[in-house]
Amino acid sequence: MRSNHMTTPAGIYISIPFCKAKCTFCNFASGVFGADRMQPYVNRICDEIVAARVAAERLGARLPECGDSLYFGGGTPSLLSGLQFRQIFQRLRGEFELLPDAEITLECAPGQLEQETLDELLRQGMNRVSFGVQSFVDKETSAVGRLHTRLECEAEIARIRAAGVEDINVDLIAGLPYQTRESWQYSLGQVVNSDVPHISVYMMEVDEDSRLGEEMLAKGTRYHASAVPSEDESAEWYQMACEQFDAAGLRQYEISNFGRSGHASRHNLKYWQRQPYIGFGLDAHSMLATDAGAVRFANTSDMDTYLGKAASAFPQVGQNVVDPEFDVIDLERAFEESLFLGLRLNEGVNLQALRWQFGETMVQDSMPALLEVREAGLLELESDQARLTAQGRMVSNEVFSRLLITAA
pLDDT digits (tens, 9 = 90+) for 91-100: 999 999 999 9
The secondary structure of the chain, three-state, reads CCCCCCCCCEEEEEEECECCCCCCCCCCCCECCCHHHHHHHHHHHHHHHHHHHHHHHHCCEECCCEEEEEEEEECCHHHCCHHHHHHHHHHHHHHCEEEEEEEEEEEECCCCCCHHHHHHHHHCCCCEEEEEEECCCHHHHHHCCCCCCHHHHHHHHHHHHHCCCCEEEEEEEECCCCCCHHHHHHHHHHHHHCCCCEEEEEECCCCCCCHHHHHHHCCCCHHHHHHCCCHHHHHHHHHHHHHHHHHCCCEEEECCEEECCCCCCHHHHHHHCCCCEEEECCCCEEEEEECCEEEEEECCCCHHHHHHCCCCCCCCCCCCCCCCCEEEECHHHHHHHHHHHHCCECCCEEHHHHHHHHCHHHHHHHHHHHHHHHHCCCEEEECCEEEECHHHHHCHHHHHHHHHHHHC
* CA gap 234, 179 in Å, rounded: 9
Task: Give the pLDDT of residue 4.
Answer: 47
* CA gap 363, 97 in Å, rounded: 37
Task: Give the pLDDT of residue 212.
Answer: 64
18-56 pLDDT, tens digit each: 876 655 655 565 556 677 889 999 999 999 999 999 989
Task: Give the pLDDT of residue 318.
Answer: 36
Angle of helix 331-342 versus helix 351-358 axis, rounded to 10: 160
* CA gap 187, 154 in Å, rounded: 12
Task: Give the pLDDT of residue 1.
Answer: 40
pLDDT beneath 50: ranges in the chain: 1-5, 310-313, 315-324, 406-408
Cα distances from 197 to residues 35, 76, 90, 161, in angstroms, run 34, 22, 30, 11
Task: Give the pLDDT of residue 323.
Answer: 38
Burial class for 2, CB neighbours closer than 10 Å (0-12, 13-18, 19+)? exposed
Cα of first residue to Cα of last residue in the chain, in angstroms, is 20
**251-257 contact pairs (CB < 8 A, 24+):** 251/346, 252/346, 253/345, 253/346, 253/347, 254/344, 254/345, 254/346, 255/344, 255/388, 255/393, 255/396, 256/200, 256/201, 256/202, 257/198, 257/199, 257/200
Task: Give the pLDDT of residue 253.
Answer: 98
144-166 pLDDT, tens digit each: 877 789 999 999 999 999 999 99
Q: What are phi and psi of 354, to 5 degrees?
A: -65, -40
